[in-house]
Structures are given as structure tokens and as C-alpha cells.
Amino acid sequence: MSEPSSRLLSALTAESQAEWRGYTCHSFVAQLGGGTLPKAAFLHYLRQDYVFLVHFARAWALAVVKSDRIDEMRIAAGTVHALIDEEMKLHIATCAEEGIGEEDLAATTESPANLAYTRFVMDAGLKGDLLDLLVALAPCVFGYGEIGRRLAEETDGPPPDHPYRDWISTYAGDDYQGVCDTVGTLIDNVAARTIGDAYAASPRWPALTETFATACRLEADFWQMGLEGT
């Protein structure tokens, strides 16, 4: 399993190492990988994440609105489809096993951490251009990909009896890793035709890294909300 090769992601994580690690190595993640995460915390997270995915799909639809190249619109629209029709299945299936139905899921009251992150992303898109929006979306897309890969390696699989096997397998799997590759190419192309190749030389670089760092902090808050939901 190789890392997605997005130049822009590498540059952004290099600028915001503390925020990136605070998010991708959060205690929730460590406990999830170690299998010690309380089931109640996981279910609380999963219910919020279902609502999150609704707004995340809206944000990817906003990327279609903000695009004008058919190939890019196709990738963004494909991501909307993957979120609504694929990624949510994990949530619905896992919650169903625990006796939580889909209507119940959809009626979940959004936590403030959920509101903060999703609406920050939407507003980044309303305020800025396609690049601003994609940078705000990046921590979620690529962070879950990195966490999935790492936890799959650390757990050697994960093994069939791992309590969070489905979650890890979903994000470590070829489908999701393929989404990361496609989005990596998209975001690099959009960056190239917006700020050129010398990212740090662009006058927009400080604001872009600030957007990325804020999104990482809000992702960490989301894990924390999961932990505190027990």
C-alpha cells in the first residue's frame, strides 16, 4: 500500500505538522486501532459522522458548482456519489447491527463539533475559490486514507476478530485509497492552474495553510467529541 502522491497535500502537512498529527494520531484513532475504544464512543462518533457525510457531500457538490472543467466536475460529482452511496453504507450497516435504524441516524442532533467543521468547509467554498474549498476538504479525505492505511499495517490486516475491522478495512481498502489518488490528482491540478508550482511563493500560501490547519483542528475536535460521547 503506497501513499497517495499529492504534492499539495505534502506541502500542506509539512506546514502544519502539529495540527496534522493532532488529528491523524488523536487518542480516538489510537484506541480505535488498538481495539480499546469503547463501543459507545464509536457509535456516538458513527452517528455524528453519518450527519457529517450529508454535509460533506454538499461540500463536494459545491466543488462541482465552483468548477468549469468537465473532467474536474466529473471527479467532484463522483465523490458526491461515493459519499452518498458508498461511504454511508458502512455507517448504516454498523449502526443496524447495534439496533440503530437509518431514520434514527438521520434524526441525530448535530454536535457543535460537527457543525463547526462542516459549516467551516461550506463557508470556505462560498468565500473563496475552488482551491480554497479543496484545501478545506483535504484533511478529511486524505486523513482518513492515511489513518486507514496506518491502522491496517499496525494491526496486520486487521484480523477478523478486530472490533473495528470494518471501519479500518473501509478506509484502508482499494476503493477509498483510489478516491484519495483521484482527489490528489485533482487538487494538484487545481493548485497548479491557480497558484502555480511554487506554492510557498504564492501570496495566498499563508491563508491556504491557515485553512488547512483550521480544518485539521476541527477534525481533532470531532474525534474528541466522539471520545466524550461515552
Residues forming the site for a copy of itself (CB under 8 A): 54, 57-58, 61-62, 64-68, 70, 73-74, 76-77, 80-81, 84-85, 88, 106, 110, 112-113, 115-116, 118-120, 122-123, 126-130, 132, 192-196, 202-204, 214, 217-218, 221
The minimum distance between CB 218 and a copy of itself, in angstroms, equals 7
Identify the CA nearest to 215 among candidates 129, 125, 155, 153.
Answer: 125
Q: Output phi, psi for 215, to 5 deg.
A: -65, -40
Nearer to a copy of itself among residue 138 and residue 152 (C-beta): 138
CA distance 195 to 197: 7
Nearer to a copy of itself among residue 88 and residue 168 (C-beta): 88
Identify the CA nearest to 221 among candidates 27, 12, 11, 42.
Answer: 27
* Cα angle, residue 122 at apex, residues 181 and 144 outer, rounded to 5°: 35
Q: At what angle do helices 7-15 and 174-195 cross, to 10 degrees?
A: 80
The minimum distance between CB 97 and a copy of itself, in angstroms, equals 20
The minimum distance between CB 30 and a copy of itself, in angstroms, equals 22
Nearer to a copy of itself among residue 88 and residue 147 (C-beta): 88
Nearer to a copy of itself among residue 3 and residue 120 (C-beta): 120
Show the cell assigned to 54: 450529508
CA distance 17 to 133: 20
Nearer to a copy of itself among residue 37 and residue 80 (C-beta): 80
The minimum distance between CB 162 and a copy of itself, in angstroms, equals 29
